[in-house]
Amino acid sequence: MLMTLVFFVAGATLAAFTYESWGALPDIPGISLIETLGFLPALVLNLAVFAAVAFAVTRAEKRRTGRVEPIFATPSDGKRSGRRLLTGPWPFAWAALALAILNFATLLLAGRPWGITQAFALWGSHAVDRFGLDDPNFWAYWDEPTRAEALHRSLLTDTTTVMNVGLIVGALAATGLAGRFAPVWKIGIGPALGSIFGGLLLGFGAIMATGCNVSAYFSGVASGSLHGWLWIAAALPGIWIGTKLRPLFGLEPRR
């Protein structure tokens, strides 16, 4: 995961560096479902799609495994309720509720929905500048005023950077509380190549798609942007392809 993160940053930086070569690709104007349909119709449409997806995947899961993992119930593991509250496992619904509340809090505090990946391009660009590899000030990607401002500030004053650090620390804390922090420092050449290749694709693709599953999909759909739905429509086939490629990198046995 650490190796994937490093190359995620590298891929995002490469996308920022090559912005002139892909930034002029054909596109369509942004479409807001709220502005196009109105708030209530857009909300009803989104909820209807969510309900249809939930119905379809629930039926598929029941056919495949005979049951559906509950999202509101806490899995039984023999722990007392007080201890389980601190160390988990926790209901999946708690995570969904926390994501919604924190995204709303981000909107109030930062003036925009939750985003993650633009900070990776910023980190990489700072590293490129610090090591004298190039001058990101002349990259077309950073010409946009708000991006240029971020490039000239300390990383500690960048809201997305601080949130990303908090996200990593929170994930480590939750893993530690659950007793599952068991880092493995030795990995094979296959998994290493998978991490490198996957990280580069993640970083480059996230910058091109204006975000990852958080900023492009989650925040995109929540803000009423059509691009959030287009993102997941493209991501699902990509995920399917990725799972089929995993055995090539020794990430799971062939079937």
* Per-residue pLDDT tens digits for 58-115: 999 999 999 888 888 776 655 555 556 777 777 889 889 999 999 999 998 888 889 8
CA distance 20 to 22: 6
CA distance 28 to 123: 29
Burial bucket for residue 157 (CB in 10 Å: 0-12, 13-18, 19+): exposed
3-class DSSP assignment, residue 185: coil
CA distance 133 to 222: 39
Q: Where are the domains of the chain?
A: 2-24+36-249
Structure tokens at 44: 């009803």
* Per-residue pLDDT tens digits for 125-183: 999 999 999 999 999 999 888 788 888 888 998 989 999 999 999 888 888 887 877 77
3-class DSSP assignment, residue 127: helix
pTM of the model: 0.85
